[in-house]
Every structure is written in C-alpha cells, then in structure tokens.
Structure 1
C-alpha cells in the first residue's frame, strides 16, 4: 500500500509541475501578444468617444472615424459635426482607447498621414491647421512626403504657408 501512495504522490507532483509550466507558458504568450499591439491597432478597435491630449496640452474629442499609420480622424461636435485629423506624433495621451486591438489590413497599412491630408486637399474644403506655433485658416494645397502647403486667404494674392508634418497638432475641416 505504501508503494501506491508513493506513486500517487509522484503522479500528483508531476501533474502539478505540468500545470504550472502550462500556466507560465500561457502568461508568457499573453504578455508577448500584448507587447505586439501597436497604437494603430487599438485606435482601429475604438468605437466610442475618444479624447486625445495634444503636445500643447489641449484636448480634442470625438468618435474615431478612421485611422492609419501616424494619424487618427475624429468626428467631433454636436450639432455641428467637424472632422479633426490628428497626427499621432502630436499625441501625448489618450482617454477612451479600446483595450483590445484590430490588426490593420493591407489597405489600412498604406493609409499614411500624407494620404489622409491629400484626401482633404482634393476635397478643397476650408481647414483650420493647428501647429505647435499657432494656427492658420485656409485650404490644403500640395501635400509632400513630410509637409503640406496651406493656401491662406490674402488681399489680392495667394499666400502659401508650408507646414512640416512634425509641427502639426491637428487639421479641422471647416466645411
């Protein structure tokens, strides 16, 4: 009978060791999964109200409408709805971000900040461009790889202000 007890005890110890090893492996895989999640994936999963603090300390809030590498588009305001394009490089903090994530597809991965700005430019709508140094109202014109030209209304001539992407805080459609 003592042999049976001894083998039962050994079996229990081995089962416990296997269970502990399995739990450790699950925890390691979970940590690796969380570590691989990027901001874009969480922005794509966000469905509710999102508040974004910009590098100048101001906050922009709205529902996430679209996102791509380096930007998020929020629909803000009520009853007047305005679209606000925010470069993620200007973001210091987010409130309301989804805990889960959605992996970006091939199309989403190609929707860069320049592409989003080009879409606004081709719409020829008035915009408020906020930079780290101030703001300007106008219309987006040419969009380069790392800068955008803003046509600013001026008396009798066309004034163009070139804004590097690195200084953008947000671009709000004035409609």
Structure 2
C-alpha cells in the first residue's frame, strides 16, 4: 500500500524552497522600493529575479505531486494493455507509422559510407591503393606574389600530383 501524503504532498522540500525564495525576493524588492539607498535599482532587480527563480521550485513541487493512475500510465510508457494484445486498428497503424518515421529520422543522422563493396584483387587493387595513397599524401604549395602597382594579385597553387592540373587564380587589385 502506498503511503498517504497529506498536506504538502511528496515534495515538501521544493515547496519550502519556493516559499523561501518568494519571501527573500519580496524582502529584497521592498527594501529597494522603500529604503533610501543609492543602489535601490539593484535591489529591485535582484528581488524580481529571486522571485522569478522561485517559479522553478513551484514547478518542481507541482509536477512532483501529480498523480496518474497506473491504468492511464500504461499507454504513455509504451506498455500494451493486456486486453488488446496485438497492434490492430487505427492505433496500431499510427504506432507503426510513428515507429517508421522516427527510425527513418534516427537512421538519417547516422553516418553511412554506402553499401559495402566487394574487395578488389590483382592489378586493379594495387592501382586503387596507389591512387588512394596519392590522394591522402598530396602536398600542396601556395605561392603569393608581391603586388605591383599596375598588375593584379596572383595566387598560384601547385600540387605534386600528375592527376591534378596546375591552376592559377587572379583577383582584382584592391
């Protein structure tokens, strides 16, 4: 048998913290309004912020005391009710559609390298390995020329690889 919670409910600590924050915030706010100090605006803002933070404790207290009968909770946590057994009807179709959509979204965020390929053999495998090694270890050199008064800036990129052509990019003078 569940213990009977009377008065403040299950979350009495959150209740008393909320009350303490409210009282402290109200005292600070009223001190800022009625006290003749040069930092009254700081006290007013600080009191309002403390009262606002008390809302966190009020929400904790309220949500901690919500009681849901287990019969209503079964459907929300994914448990099937014993009298229904299988997923038939509209609710079953909605569950299947929801599951497909969520799995599709979940899988779309996963990194995939595509379908697995068959391993290469023979001369083709060694040529493929050479090309992959060249792609991974390609040195790149950039050269900048000092600007002359009448010529545009020139940036040249040279790549030490037979498969890539030499490129030059020109820009307008600034």
- Structure 1 length as normaliser, TM-score? 0.25
Name the structure where helix makes up a greater proportion of residues.
2
From the two aligned structures, give the one with the greater strand fraction: 1
Greater RCO, CA 8 A, separation 6+: 1
Which has the greater radius of gyration? 2
TM-score (normalizing by structure 2): 0.25
